[in-house]
Amino acid sequence: PSASRRPMLRSWTRPPPPGLCPSGSLAPYRSALADHHLLRYLGNSAAVGSAAEELVLKGQKKYWPYLFTAADNTRGLKDEDSLGIYRVRMLTGFMRNGDDYSNATQIAILLNYPQEAARIEQAGFDAKVLSGTRQERLLARAKESGAQQEKQMDALAKQAHAAKTGDPLVKLAETYWGIGKYQDALDAAQEGVKKGVKDTDQAQMVIGMAYTGLKKGSQAVRAFRKITDPKVKAVANLWSVYARTH
């Protein structure tokens, strides 16, 4: 934080909540975490996210929302990045409302992961945050498309393996991840990288996700650390924290 911000932070008189004792350069932000609205007041959600990361890694799961806020505030996120954030929200139990489930479902359909989309939308109904004709139609659409894709999985796998580049294999790997086939996802993504891919960051993301699903946290973190694009890296950081805490 800049020197001009420190006086304002010191003037904050509310006592920090338990577990947010000042220490080191992140001390002002630990105090600031007591009030979510201070994210805008501070104007530095990345720094708040860094403080929250320390706390989550120490077992204080209630600070996950601040990590998600920091990731959501990353400029230039693509649909793939947004879905990555929603996936970690699902895994940690921090989906906020029906809009989160509906948006994640629609992105998954758009990116051609209908089986995963159906699982997400159904989870929203199970959580009692989705209802109504529109959402029922979205669920039916996802289930229908997912059933068709399930029947085509063997053919899709053959096409991906026969392709000249590894990009279709990475796409296949992400599809496998969405239906819980983590070893298949890892094998396909790694084969894709060997063949050569255009988007190396997304390939490493899928490899890290697969390792996370297999409960191999250290390997997952190594994959996430290979990502270089700042936008993708913001999402990978969420995954890295999750891999280190589960």
The per-residue DSSP string of 76-136 comes to T--HHHHHHHHHHHHHHT---SHHHHHHHHHHHHHTT-HHHHHHHHHHHHHTT---SHHHH
Higher-confidence residue of 198 and 8: namely 198
Intra-chain end-to-end CA distance of the chain, in Å = 31
Residue % of the chain over a pLDDT of 70: 81
Give the residue among 202, 236, 201, 235 at the shortest CA–CA distance from 220: 236
Number of alpha carbons in the 13 Å side-chain half-sphere of residue 224: 25
- Cα–Cα distance for residue pair 238/217, rounded to 1 Å: 13
The pLDDT assigned to 46 comes to 67
Structure tokens at 86: 């929603």
Query: Rounded mean pLDDT of 113-134?
Result: 98
Look up residue 39 and give its amino acid: L
Structure tokens at 138: 């979205």
Ranges 1-10, 79-88, 116-125: which has the least confidence:
1-10
Longest dimension (CA), the chain: 64
CB atoms within 10 A of CB 57: 13
Query: Rounded mean pLDDT of 223-244?
Result: 97
pLDDT tens per residue across span 15-64: 334 443 334 445 555 544 444 443 443 556 667 778 889 889 999 999 99
Q: Is 245 exposed, middle or buried (0-12, 13-18, 19+ CB in 10 A)?
A: middle
Spatial contact of 124 and 135, defined as CB atoms under 8 Å apart: yes
* Whether the model pTM is above 0.85: no
Structure tokens at 77: 């996120």
Query: Rounded mean pLDDT of 140-166?
Result: 98
The pLDDT assigned to 191 comes to 98
The pLDDT assigned to 23 comes to 41
The pLDDT assigned to 135 comes to 98
Strand ranges (DSSP E) for the chain?
A: none
Residue 83: pLDDT above 80? yes
Residue 163: φ, ψ to 5°: -65, 155
Residue 110: pLDDT above 70? yes
The pLDDT assigned to 50 comes to 82
Q: What is the DSSP letter of 15?
A: P
- Cα–Cα distance for residue pair 45/41, rounded to 1 Å: 10
Structure tokens at 88: 């970690």
- Cα–Cα distance for residue pair 149/167, rounded to 1 Å: 18
Query: Rounded mean pLDDT of 56-80?
Result: 93
- Cα–Cα distance for residue pair 132/9, rounded to 1 Å: 45
The pLDDT assigned to 48 comes to 75
pLDDT tens per residue across span 185-229: 999 999 999 999 999 999 999 999 999 999 999 999 999 999 999
Query: Rounded mean pLDDT of 153-165?
Result: 98
Q: In the structure, what pLDDT confidence band is assigned to residue 11 with cuts at 50, 70 and 90?
A: very low
- Cα–Cα distance for residue pair 57/64, rounded to 1 Å: 10
